[in-house]
Amino acid sequence: MGDLELLLPGEADVVVRGLRSFPLREIGSGGWNQQHENLEKLNMQAILDATASQGEPIQELLVTHRKVHHEASIINLLETVFFHKEACESAEDTVLDLVDYCHRKLTLLVARSSHGGPAEKEGSQYSTPMQELQQQAELMEFEIALKALSVLRYITDCVDSLSLSTLSRMLSTHNLPCLLVELLENSPWSRREGGKLQQFEGGRWQTVAPSEQQKLSKLDGQVWIALYNLLLSPEARARYCLTSFAKGQLVKLRAFLTDTLLDQLPNLADLQGFLAQLALAEPQPPKKDLVLEQIPEIWERLERENKGKWQAIAKHQLQHVFSPSDQDLRLQAQRWAETYRLDVLEAVAPERPRCAYCGAEASKRCSRCQNEWYCCRECQVKHWVKHGKTCVLATQDERAK
């Protein structure tokens, strides 16, 4: 592992071995929160290892022990470890659940693209706490969907070794090539704001300089590589039925395959040739073969185990998870502070910290709690209305240790 470590190799092994699934009613319990903290540590350690280019023991442990849950944390961790084909191969039949999950997220992403992406976090002191939470939830859901796109692309890298059930799920049940075409058409990670092109990167919308606008974004690249894998792999081509609908959707890609794009991804020349042939070919009739479809294990088990218990689970959650005491909140805040160490967060952050009030690049930190960043004294004073109570609480907890 790298010089900066959250978990030593022995500790990481113990943590991975200890990962377990929880009944639905226990989501948010003390044990679940402890595991969530462990997953966050694994996630950050995996990023540190990948950044240091000194091997990736977290990925190896997850593959060895076949453990991997907690949505926002786990999708980050999956994005890191699924870069390696061994992770996909070790997942075996549970890849089916992961394909279904990615499909749901990308379908929602396409559906919401007509409304624009999530808004930037506002520094305004007039937004209510509920509005701020809603904004954070929308942003998190958007980022999760973008991570799901990367995970799906890594799964398509292993298309030659996927099971027949998984291939059928991707190509027939979900028709992922057509969904990916819609993603390219809508490009939910790009937008025009005030006449300027913006792209969502590093957790926020960033204005793209005119000289960089022809450069292929990382997310567009993920879509093109996934399409290449699904349309040109011999195994996938043998099983994908090119109906009139599929043909109509796929030939739309020809308009995107410009010389500039081909210069950046030369392999797409093969895809261009395939689409030229497709445009001249007759569409295939829908296949009527008898197919025994495998059921996603995790989703089916959740439905079976909790059938008829939904209201009881909701009442239990309301009483034991959503009604914490002040002491519970203090203990949780203290544990989060220990998990999200500032030195580690700075090491894994994709960019320099931003001002908590105006969002500009920041170089000054609150001297009391060391948690918030500001670009200038004026912004810190304006943000004190929001930050004051949290700052005092964090300082008191630190002194109580």
Cβ–Cβ under 8 Å, residues 230 and 170:
yes
With bands split at pLDDT 50, 70 and 90, how would you rate the model's confidence at 9?
low
Q: Assess whether pLDDT exceeds 90 at residue 90.
A: no
Question: Which pair of tokens denotes residue 134?
Answer: 């809603």
The percent of residues in the chain predicted with pLDDT above 90, rounded, is: 22
More confident residue, 346 or 257: 257
Its pTM stands at 0.65
With bands split at pLDDT 50, 70 and 90, how would you rate the model's confidence at 8?
low
Residue 119 is classified by DSSP as P
Q: What is the pLDDT of residue 399?
A: 57
Q: Assess whether pLDDT exceeds 90 at residue 210.
A: no
For every residue of 146-196, DSSP letters joined together read HHHHHHHHHHHTTGGGS-HHHHHIIIIIS-HHHHHHHHHHH-TTEEEETTE
Distances (CA, A) of 338 to 40, 365, 368: 11, 18, 17
Q: What is the pLDDT averaged over residues 162-183?
A: 90
With bands split at pLDDT 50, 70 and 90, how would you rate the model's confidence at 62?
very low
Q: Mind listing the pLDDT tens digit for each residue in 283-336?
A: 878 766 655 666 677 777 788 888 888 889 888 888 888 888 888 888 878 877
Q: What is the pLDDT of residue 204?
A: 79
Q: What is the pLDDT averaged over residues 339-355?
A: 65
Distance CA 64, CA 37 (A): 21
Q: What is the pLDDT of residue 302?
A: 81
Cβ–Cβ under 8 Å, residues 117 and 189:
yes
Q: What is the pLDDT averaged over residues 69-88?
A: 73
Sequence-ordered list of residues with C-beta below 8 angstroms from that of 165, at least 6 positions apart, any chain: 93, 96, 293, 294
Sequence-ordered list of residues with C-beta below 8 angstroms from that of 268, at least 6 positions apart, any chain: 224, 228, 257, 261, 262
Q: Mind listing the pLDDT tens digit for each residue in 123-153?
A: 444 467 777 777 878 888 898 899 999 999 9
Rank 66-75, 118-127, 299-308 by mean pLDDT and report only the highest.
Answer: 299-308
Question: Which pair of tokens denotes residue 291?
Answer: 């197919």
Phi, psi of 282 (to 5 degrees): -80, 140
Q: What is the pLDDT of residue 207?
A: 87
Cβ–Cβ under 8 Å, residues 125 and 386:
yes
With bands split at pLDDT 50, 70 and 90, how would you rate the model's confidence at 104?
very high
